[in-house]
């Protein structure tokens, strides 16, 4: 195997003498990289405090949606939870696919190990390149923090044991055009979440299976079958910072317009570092999400400490009830829509984004500029979907409130 290792090592380092695992397809492809994560400023720890020793693992059963489903937010919300995705045909079809993918997150591990290079940096590079080949938008790697693992699964209520050493985060964009066209809380909102959930899940399931076929344990985690809390992994893997939206991580190229799937594994990997693109300062100044939240679930104030994490507080009950109970749409993504980081990959917006990342003074004008340019409003000429809902298997028109909007 010596020849093979040497050849691959040489091959994969010759043009990358610095050998960082953060290196990215953009350097090779000869075409512009839409998401140049390798250009971001890296720091040793996430930009929000994490008291690793104080964090208590949480149960998936205690999430807002699970509470809605259990009836803790009242009968009406419980009833609406049962048709939350199904009431709109596209989110319904996407949910079916995600459910199908819940059955292929894990499987047998090949007994023999592949002759991979000894250097974990090279293996990380290979795994990232593989994820990009599988059409991931962004990829980052960290050690799996033990506190990110759920205590119990919402599917069977059983205790979870997950001891993999590394976590690979895979981001998928929710689609710029759709985010520009929608109101924030109309009929396409849940479909936007689930195109990213199902696609990142699809990639994670293939990648985990590939790693198992290389002889190492690996499990995919996606919306219909998580064993862990995603945000801490995104922070440590350099894919975003904690934001005013509360438990939501914002990425400098997508805002919160993404969903993530995770692969956990014992394959030896080099890890990425957290990023700092000035978001803590930015979110202190901007407040667009808090201003536009239809149920005032987000804070206009300062960060707090909660279960060992420094974060802006969010009223989970209000947010979940609004999304599940929305009678004029399927879900809600208003905070996603109005965030100034929710922009397309154009030269103009990339320049503005660079300014926001690097010039603190400029951040004061972001919220104002966005409103002046109308980014918080729906660009209805870009709308491509239809407004209707399925009630008891029959299609219903939008309500009066929607007609007027």
Site for a second copy in 166-205 (CB under 8 A): 175-178, 180, 191, 195, 198-199, 202, 205
Q: Which of 203, 120, 217, 118 is nearest to 169 (CA)?
A: 203
Nearer of residues 51 and 177 to a second copy, judged by Cβ: 177
227 scored as a contact of a second copy (CB under 8 A): no
Sites for a second copy among residues 251-310 (CB under 8 A): none
Among 58, 61, 109, 206, binds a second copy (CB under 8 A): 206
Name the token pair of 74. 């009242």
Q: Is 395 in the site for a second copy (CB under 8 A)?
A: yes
Separation in Å, CA 150 to CA 48, 157, 208: 21, 11, 19
The 10 Å Cβ neighbour count of residue 393 is 5
Sole window of 64-72, 102-110, 221-229, 232-240 interacting with a second copy (rule: CB under 8 A): 102-110
Distance CA 311, CA 36 (A): 26
For 338, the enclosing helix (H) or strand (E) is: helix 334-338
* By CB under 8 A, residue 94 contacts a second copy: yes
In the bound state with a second copy, the residue whose beta carbon lies nearer, of 243 and 330, is 330
Minimum CB–partner distance for residue 355 and a second copy (Å): 19
The terminus-to-terminus CA distance of the chain in angstroms comes to 66
Q: How many helices (H) and strands (E) does the chain have?
A: 16, 10
For residues 25 to 54, the per-residue mask of contacts with a second copy, x marking binding by CB under 8 A and - elsewhere, is x--xxxx-----------------------
Q: Looking only at residues 339 through 368 of this chain, which bind a second copy when binding is defined by CB under 8 A? A: 344-346
Classified as helix, coil or strand, 219 is: strand
Q: Where are the beta strands (DSSP E) in 59-199?
A: 138-143, 166-173
CB-based burial of residue 53 (10 Å sphere; 0-12 exposed, 13-18 middle, 19+ buried)?
exposed
Query: Which is closer to a second copy, CB of 77 or CB of 207?
Result: 207
Phi, psi of 336 (to 5 degrees): -60, -50
CB 100 to a second copy: min, Å: 6
Q: Give the residue among 237, 261, 234 at the shortest CA–CA distance from 250.
A: 234
Does 4 engage in binding with a second copy (CB under 8 A)? yes
Of 67, 121, 126, 363, which lies in the binding site for a second copy, with binding defined by CB under 8 A? 126
Closest approach, Cβ 349 to a second copy, in A, equals: 9
Residue 401, interface with a second copy (CB under 8 A)?
no
Pick the closer one to a second copy by CB: 58 or 93: 93
Please state, in angstroms and rounded to a whole number, the distance separating the CA atoms of residues 335 and 51: 27
Element containing residue 241 per DSSP (H, E): strand 241-242
Contact region with a second copy (CB under 8 A), list: 43-51, 298-306, 307-315, 381-389: 381-389
Task: Please say which residue, 232 or 255, places its beta carbon nearer to a second copy.
Answer: 255
Length of the chain: 405
Nearer to a second copy, 94 or 168 (CB): 94
Q: Which of 65, 210, 354, 365 binds a second copy (CB under 8 A)?
A: 210
Size of the site for a second copy (CB under 8 A): 74
């Amino acid at each position: 195997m010596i020849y093979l290792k040497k050849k691959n090592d040489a091959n994969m380092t010759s043009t990358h003498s610095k050998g960082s695992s953060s290196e990215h397809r953009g350097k090779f492809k000869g075409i512009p990289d839409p998401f140049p994560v390798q250009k971001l400023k890296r720091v040793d720890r996430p930009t929000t405090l994490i008291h690793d020793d104080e964090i208590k693992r949480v149960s998936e059963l205690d999430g807002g949606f699970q509470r809605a489903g259990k009836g803790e937010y009242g009968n009406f919300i419980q009833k609406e939870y049962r048709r939350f995705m199904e009431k709109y045909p596209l989110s319904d079809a996407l949910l079916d696919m995600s459910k199908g993918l819940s059955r292929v997150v894990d499987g047998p591990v090949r007994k023999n190990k592949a002759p991979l290079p000894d250097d974990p940096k090279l293996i990380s590079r290979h795994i990232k390149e593989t994820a990009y080949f599988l059409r991931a938008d962004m990829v980052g790697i960290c050690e799996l923090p033990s506190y990110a693992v759920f205590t119990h699964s919402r599917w069977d209520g059983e205790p979870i044991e997950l001891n993999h050493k590394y976590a690979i985060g895979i981001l998928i964009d929710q689609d710029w055009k759709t985010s520009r066209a929608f109101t924030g809380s109309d009929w396409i909102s849940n479909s936007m979440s689930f195109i990213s959930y199902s696609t990142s899940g699809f990639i994670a399931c293939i990648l985990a299976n590939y790693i198992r076929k290389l002889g190492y344990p690996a499990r995919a985690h996606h919306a219909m079958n998580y064993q862990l809390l995603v945000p801490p992994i995104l922070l440590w893997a350099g894919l975003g910072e904690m934001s005013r939206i509360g438990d939501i991580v914002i990425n400098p190229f997508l805002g919160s317009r993404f969903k993530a799937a995770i692969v956990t594994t014992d394959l030896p990997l080099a890890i990425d570092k957290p990023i700092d693109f000035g978001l803590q300062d930015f979110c202190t100044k901007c407040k667009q999400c808090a201003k536009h939240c239809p149920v005032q679930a987000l804070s206009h104030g300062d960060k707090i400490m909660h279960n060992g994490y420094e974060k802006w507080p969010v009223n989970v009950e209000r947010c979940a009830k609004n999304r599940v109970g929305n009678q004029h749409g399927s879900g809600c993504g208003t905070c996603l829509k109005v965030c100034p980081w929710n922009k397309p990959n154009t030269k103009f917006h990339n320049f503005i984004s660079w300014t926001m990342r690097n010039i603190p003074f400029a951040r004061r004008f972001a919220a104002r500029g966005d409103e002046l340019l109308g980014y918080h409003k729906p660009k209805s000429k870009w709308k491509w979907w239809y407004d209707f809902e399925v009630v008891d298997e029959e299609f219903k028109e939008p309500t009066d409130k929607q007609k007027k909007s």
